Every structure is written in structure tokens, then in C-alpha cells.
Amino acid sequence: MIAAIRGTHDILPGEVEKWQLVEETARQLCARYGYLELRTPIIEHEELFAKGTGESTDIVQKEMYSFTDKGGERVTMRPEATPSMVRAFVEHNLEQTLPAAKLFAMGPMFRYERPQKGRYRQFHQLDVEVFGVNDPAIDAEVIDLAWMLIAALGIERAELVVNSVGCAQCRPAFQEALLKALGDDLPRLCEDCQRRARTNPLRIYDCKVEADQPIIDRLPHSIDYLCEPCATHFRDVRAHLDAFGIPWSLSHRLVRGLDYYTRTTFEILGQALGAQNALLGGGRYDGLVKDLGGPDRPGIGFAAGLERLVLALPASAAPAVPARAFVVAIGDDGRREALVLLRELRAAGLAAQMEFEAKGVRAQMKRADRLQARVALIVGGDELARGEVTLRTMANGDQRSAPRADIVEIVRGLLT
């Protein structure tokens, strides 16, 4: 037997209904907030992520599924959606063609990470992005949409954490203060942190190495180094969240794993997810559109991990069994008519099934039970001679006869 690749997983019937619930809830919410769906390819030029996600990130350094295709082109299976969304925004000049550049996408992402609960090599994200809006109200709208999603899914005890990492003007002073505060401690940090100190010192806050934590806890906080416009922006974002009644807390360590973030960063953390407790995360990336060859437009967005949302769903979120009918055939004549009736029900928009292999009535009824059918339609020689069908309500076993000609409408009434 050839098994699935490590870090990938099948989403089986029984589980997939939860995915459909999450996806459907996300789609409805995005529509309500005015976000339009954009579908981008899974493969892109490697350069898009090297530039977009950032050379100094763990993703680009160690986790990308990149290969040379048959034409000699370096291609990457997307590790995240934002660079692709920016590319599509620029390539199709969407700011001219769309009423507002508020977009969402859903689909698989690929990162060569160490698999564990809530962390996979092929996983799925809902990605939400807005281009071209500076106002702090859009930061609040995006965070609110994320918060609403969690609430709509019935996920309890989720926690919103926010931070501001400043902008190109104020970040250099913060980085300098960070390196200065590290001083003699730097050589004692892990190898990754040594690299981060050279390439992007803020990333040191991402470090999960136990021994490094006491040193990192003593480092300065980005919000103490914000320039006036960044400080005002962050204050306004928090004021909007307060006005919405969305509880938040400040996390100095929230710099996020990607290079492009500016100003607002945020995450929503879930309970009972173990070490991988981030349900979603995002922030502002005001320089990214320009860096990727587009106009100088700000951007903000978030990505939610669908696996983690599904894991965090309350047990009560199990989607209801769809109402369906089951057709039971007795004898060859019955079977011929049962097949026609089955098709009529389906053509009328009703969910209906039949058992083709088991011949006995008892075996067919058993199947109807397993399928949790609401009603069984029994079609046999006697019934046919009378121009009738026997209707059985599965919940209580009540049976009655109904005219063959009216049966579709009667079943519709019972199922809807």
C-alpha cells in the first residue's frame, strides 16, 4: 500500500462536513463584509516568495516546496497566500476594476515543517486581504471579521492579541535598541537567533528555544519606539476594538513570522490546540505591494488555518444530517418502478437513495436506518397495482399509503 505523504492528510467523509461548515461560514461572512473571492494558482515563481514572504524568514530559508520544472523554471508551491494576492492585484490592476480591493481566498498551502498536532506540510488557509486603505478603521474591520468568524463557528475562549511593529521610519531605532539591549547576550542565543540578528532582528521574538527566553523577555518593546503617526494609528485601532466590545491584549512578542509586516499585527489564539494554538494571524504590510512591483499602496490582512478552526469547533457544531428519503423495492416490477421514482425525487431537488445489491426488504430497511433516512418509500407489486406507494416514517415506524402521482410532493413536504 502506498500511504499519504507525511504531513499531508485526507479529509474523510464524516470530517469533511465540518470543513464545509467552516468554509461556508467564512464565505458568508466575507460576503457580508464586502470581500470578493480571488483564486490564485498553487504554483508561482519562486522569486515571488523570496521577495514577498522575505529572504530572512524560516519559510523561505527552510520550508518551501520549490523545484525546477521541465522548462528549467524555478517554481514554488505557495507557502502562504499574501504574495500571490498582491501579485494578482498588481497584475490585473484590480484597484481600477474592482469597487474596493477587499479580497479573500481559500485553499492549500505547503510548508516543509515538522508535522505535529495542528501543523502539517499541506494545510489550508482562509486568506483575507485589503489593499489601498490606510485608515485604522480598516485594521479594526479586518480584526472584527476574524473575530466574527471565530464567534460564528462557536469557538469559545479565543483570545485576541495585538501589537504594532512600527514602520520604515521608526523601526530602525527599535532594531538598534534591540541589538544594543542584546549586547553581550547575543552569542548565548540559539543559532537561528544569531542569523536573525544579522538579517532581521525583530524575528528574535519568534524564537521558541527554551534557553533563549529569559534573554528575550528582557528586550525592549516595539510600541515604546513608535513614531507619532504609528503611535496614533495603533491607538485608533485599539479604540475601535474597544468601541466594538472586542477584548484584546497587547503582546510585545507578536512580531509574526514574515518580513513584510508594518504597524498593526494580531493573532487569535485558541484553547485545546496544544503548542500550535494560533487560529489565525495577520497584520499590516504597507510596503509589500510596492516591493512586488506595484503602486505604493498599503495592505492589511490575515490568514486563518482551516485545520485549526476545524479542530477548535465545539462538538455541538456537528452539521445536521441532511433530510433524505430512501426507496425500498419489492420484486422485479417494484424495482423497475422504484428506480424511476428514485430519479423523480432527485430531479425534484430531493435527496433520495436506494440499495442496489441487497434484495430483501429487511436489508434495505437496515440501509435506510444507517443512512438516517427520514422517510422510506416502499414500492412493490401490490402497491403498484393500486397506483400507490407505502410511506414509512423512519422515526416512529408509522406507515400509510399515498397515491403514486402525488408522492413527490408528499415527500417534499416531509423532508422540508
| Interaction between residue 280 and ligand AMP (CB under 6 A) | yes
Closer CB to ligand AMP, 149 or 341, in the complex? 149
Residue whose CB is nearest to ligand AMP in the complex, by number:
305
Closer CB to ligand AMP, 261 or 326, in the complex? 261
Least distance between ligand AMP and beta carbon 248 (Å): 16
| Interaction between residue 60 and ligand AMP (CB under 6 A) | no
Least distance between ligand AMP and beta carbon 59 (Å): 7
Longest dimension (CA), the chain: 96
Residues 102-141, one symbol each (x = binds ligand AMP by CB under 6 A, - = not), give ---------x-x----xxx--x-x----------------
Contact region for ligand AMP (CB under 6 A) — 97-105, 273-281, 357-365, 387-395? 273-281
Least distance between ligand AMP and beta carbon 274 (Å): 12
Closer CB to ligand AMP, 18 or 308, in the complex? 308
| Interaction between residue 294 and ligand AMP (CB under 6 A) | no
Closer CB to ligand AMP, 257 or 331, in the complex? 257
DSSP for 209-225, written as a single string: -GGGHHHHHTS--GGGG
CA angle, residues 303, 269, 153, in degrees to nearest 5 = 70
Least distance between ligand AMP and beta carbon 154 (Å): 17
Q: Are 328 and 365 in contact (CB under 8 A)?
A: yes
Return d(Cα 136, Cα 196) in angstroms, integer.
30
DSSP state of 319: P
Residue 236, SS3 per DSSP: helix
Least distance between ligand AMP and beta carbon 183 (Å): 30
Residue of 307, 337, 355, 383 interacting with ligand AMP (CB under 6 A): 307
Q: Are 170 and 234 in contact (CB under 8 A)?
A: no
Q: Are 167 and 262 in contact (CB under 8 A)?
A: yes
| Interaction between residue 279 and ligand AMP (CB under 6 A) | yes
Q: List CB contacts of 252: < 8 A, sequence separation 6 or more.
A: 163, 205, 221, 222, 223
| Interaction between residue 310 and ligand AMP (CB under 6 A) | no
| Interaction between residue 80 and ligand AMP (CB under 6 A) | yes
Question: Can you list the pairs that 75-78 forms with residues at least 24 positions away whose Cβ atoms lie under 8 Å?
Answer: 75/43, 75/44, 75/45, 75/46, 76/43, 76/44, 76/45, 76/46, 76/48, 76/49, 77/42, 77/43, 77/110, 78/40, 78/41, 78/42, 78/43, 78/44, 78/49, 78/109, 78/110
Cα torsion 87, 104, 82, 192 to 10°: value is -170
Least distance between ligand AMP and beta carbon 407 (Å): 48
Q: List CB contacts of 267: < 8 A, sequence separation 6 or more.
A: 160, 161, 251, 254, 256, 278, 279, 280, 281, 282
Amino acid at 120: Y
| Interaction between residue 308 and ligand AMP (CB under 6 A) | yes
Least distance between ligand AMP and beta carbon 301 (Å): 10
Closer CB to ligand AMP, 119 or 195, in the complex? 119
The residue count for binding ligand AMP (CB under 6 A) is 18
DSSP state of 62: I
Smallest CA-to-CA distance from 147 within 315, 282, 261, 253 is with 282
Residue numbers 229-248 binding ligand AMP by CB under 6 A: none
Q: Are 129 and 82 in contact (CB under 8 A)?
A: yes
Least distance between ligand AMP and beta carbon 115 (Å): 8
Least distance between ligand AMP and beta carbon 98 (Å): 24
Closer CB to ligand AMP, 55 or 409, in the complex? 55
Residue of 201, 305, 334, 380 interacting with ligand AMP (CB under 6 A): 305
Residue 44, SS3 per DSSP: strand
| Interaction between residue 303 and ligand AMP (CB under 6 A) | yes
Q: Are 339 and 304 in contact (CB under 8 A)?
A: no
Contact region for ligand AMP (CB under 6 A) — 23-31, 181-189, 246-254, 300-308? 300-308
Contact region for ligand AMP (CB under 6 A) — 69-77, 202-210, 278-286, 401-409? 278-286
Give the residues lining the site for ligand AMP (CB under 6 A): 80, 111, 113, 118-120, 123, 125, 257, 278-281, 303-305, 307-308
